[in-house]
Amino acid sequence: MGEVDPAFIQEPEHRPRISYIEGKGVPLIDLSPILSSSNVSAIEFEGLVKQVGDACKEWGFFQVINHGVPLEMREKIDGASRKFFAQSLEEKRKVRRNEKEVSGYYDTEHTKNVRDWKEVFDFTIEEPTIVSASHEPDDTELTEWNNQWPEYPPDLREICQEYGQEMVKLAYKLMELIARSLGLPADRFHGFFKDQTSFIRLNHYPPCPNPELALGVGRHKDGGALTILAEDDVGGLEVKRKTDGEWVRVKPTPDAYIINVGDIIQVWSNDRYESVEHRAMVNSEKERFSFPFFFNPAHYTLIKPLEELTNEQNPAKYWAYSWGKFMNNRKRSDFQKLNVENLQIYHFKISE
């Protein structure tokens, strides 16, 4: 990726600062109470629920340890990912994403219409994943997303599928804690994910000769429900702190996962919890790898504030919108530079 092509250069106000603030205070939550086979005391469980609720409210981000995902699984996906990205561009492009094949390899993704300094490999959890065929509101046609798997490494498919199942299990546990923190039954969100459109992305951020001009991923919010991120020890994730709007660096914690609330939870919770802007930095010396899992509902889900969380004093703040159409709209902006900002949840905000 040599010298920085102008396509990668951020506008001056969005360029990263090379000196950074380390994110003191990003909550670190121990999930062992819900994993231990012994009966957890009600006090311990309620304490965990409160920690999760406070983290969602104050940061929109938190880290979890003792989460139940075997370390060996994480090491396997890390190793396979490094082998895949170490191949020649010609080999990687044999499984290249395009507007028809939305899973696979890609190295020209844009965020906010600026190219990201990274290459990715995407795969969906459900094979095939059923989705809306277009972003047009009146088009009811459906299509299938099928994964593309490379020849090398030969075990990539199996490793990715096993890891994906671990992510789904962890996501359900976290959604139960989030539901309880909102005063809802633990399984309140489960039904939305029956035909999930979730996917995992393998990210590779090569060293960048001008890390002060480009970003691995530009500032953005996640459009889905919940993101579970594994990363190596290089670090680079920055979160916009809600209290003062400063960008703060999340320090990697060994074997922890970084969790963030997506736009869908913001809408379901009627703004009690907020999806927060974040971005990924690059550096000039070390490559970085990360593996986000995006937990997304079925394409036919209508996203709107939950009735239990709205009343006359606290009316719904959003119009309902189709997740399938929203997701399709977002995918378009990955492949073409649009002249308009891509779809955001504030476009569905009800004016007061």
* Distance separating alpha carbons of residues 202 and 296, to the nearest angstrom: 17
Kindly write down the DSSP assignment for every residue of 235-260, as one continuous string: --EEEE-TTT--EEEPPP-TT-EEEE
Q: How confident is the model at residue 343 (pLDDT cuts 50, 70, 90)?
A: confident
Q: How confident is the model at residue 55 (pLDDT cuts 50, 70, 90)?
A: very high
Length of the chain: 352
Residue located via tokens 């969005």 = 14
Can you tell me the mean pLDDT for 301-317?
97
Residue 112 confidence (pLDDT)? 87
Mean residue pLDDT across the chain: 93
Each residue of 3-41: pLDDT tens digit? 789 999 999 999 998 777 787 779 999 999 988 766 788
Predicted TM-score (pTM) of the model is: 0.95
